[in-house]
Amino acid sequence: MQSGIRIGPFVTANQVFVAPMAGVTDRPFRALCRRFGAGHAVSEMAASNPKLWGTEKTQRRLDHAGEASPRAVQIAGGDPRMLAEAARYNVDRGAEIIDINMGCPAKKVCNVAAGSALLRDEALVARILEAVVGAVNVPVTLKTRTGWSRDRRNALAVAHIAEQSGIALLTLHGRTRADLYEGAAEYDTIAAVKAAVRIPVVANGDIDSPEKAAWVLAHTGADAVMVGRAAQGRPWIFREIAHYLDTGRRHAPPTLGEVRAALVEHLHAHYAFYGELTGLRTARKHIGWYVRALPGGEVFRARMNTLDSTQAQIAAVVDYLDALGPADEALPESPLTSSHPGNALAA
């Protein structure tokens, strides 16, 4: 059986984590991923600017009611003092781990000198990490990239700064900021970082199958893997990876009945969290991810986007999945994911 990773006083359930993704990893999604075997989950990033703390979006992102421990909250910003205050604010509201975002490549984040834009200024990185670690009495983790651009990879330097600053765990996405999400992630830099520091290192980027996860762990020596986009519409990927790491064998795919139950559960939790109007609108992307590789999925998604009530949305989902086959029939294998480590490496 896999062993968990220690983050301060906490030990994760296993070596397979769900990545924080803005607009995706809300509380209902994190709970579903945990139920399907994710060993650790980090919230969507919350702004460090106090002017935004009272907004509906930020308040919703800071809502951890009923969430399993440890509750990890990601904060984003570029001012050490403001980030320290944001960390305290979140700890006061139930956060048990603070994660600092230095990996987001989005222009709206980088344009305000936050996310991966911070990698251009290692002195500022050190000030931020030291300020946040010093501000709270809970573990602080860091998610970052290999550098600003391919000719300015500085992940090793940032990792040393993180370790010296008291960061409890480092997650490294195998792309630079300039790469955005294009091309293939590379893992040699992650391996070099893991070999150079004593704190736990988590490998992230293009981990989309059990075989790929096992290959990345072996290649990098990382302590855990973090799955992002491959979990969208596929929360069972966590149990598939965990099972493969434990046994060396593939887990049976979910049945159509299990997928229907998971999606309906997800939708009910989503509506309860966001309310009828916002929930109807924001659920569409999740439904689209679930059905994108299924027969008739694109046609169904286009029709589903015209529905104007949550009840109609759920009814349409149930009818669509029921029409695909018997409840005990296995979900068709998705062509969107690699079945062998080399597939994604060559993509």
Q: Can you tell me which residue has the tokens 């050490």? A: 80
Q: How far apart are CA 314 and CA 229, in angstroms?
A: 24
- Structural tokens at position 241: 């990876």
d(CA 178, CA 117): 10
- Quick one: CA dihedral 261, 266, 269, 275, positive or negative? negative
Q: CA separation (Å) from 220 to 195, 212, 223, 307?
A: 9, 12, 9, 46
Question: Is 110 designated active site?
Answer: no
**Nearest alpha-carbon partner for 210 in 174, 188, 234, 191:** 234
Phi, psi angle pair for 144, to nearest 5°: -150, -175
- Please tell me the distance from the alpha carbon of residue 132 to that of residue 141, in angstroms, as a whole number: 10
Cα-Cα-Cα-Cα torsion 316, 319, 320, 325, nearest 10 degrees, comes to 170
Instruction: Give the tokens for residue 339.
Output: 């079945």
Q: Which residue in the list 24, 32, 91, 104 is annotated as catalytic?
A: 104
CA–CA gap between residue 89 and residue 164 (Å, rounded): 24
Of 114, 27, 129, 135, give the one whose Cα is nearest residue 71: 27
CB atoms within 10 A of CB 308: 8
Please state, in angstroms and rounded to a whole number, the distance separating the CA atoms of residues 63 and 61.
Answer: 6
Q: Are 13 and 4 in contact (CB under 8 A)?
A: yes
Q: Would you call 269 exposed, middle or buried from its count of C-beta atoms within 10 A (0-12, 13-18, 19+)?
A: middle
Neighbours of 335 (CB within 10 A): 8
Sign of the CA dihedral 14, 97, 115, 21? positive
Catalytic residues: 104
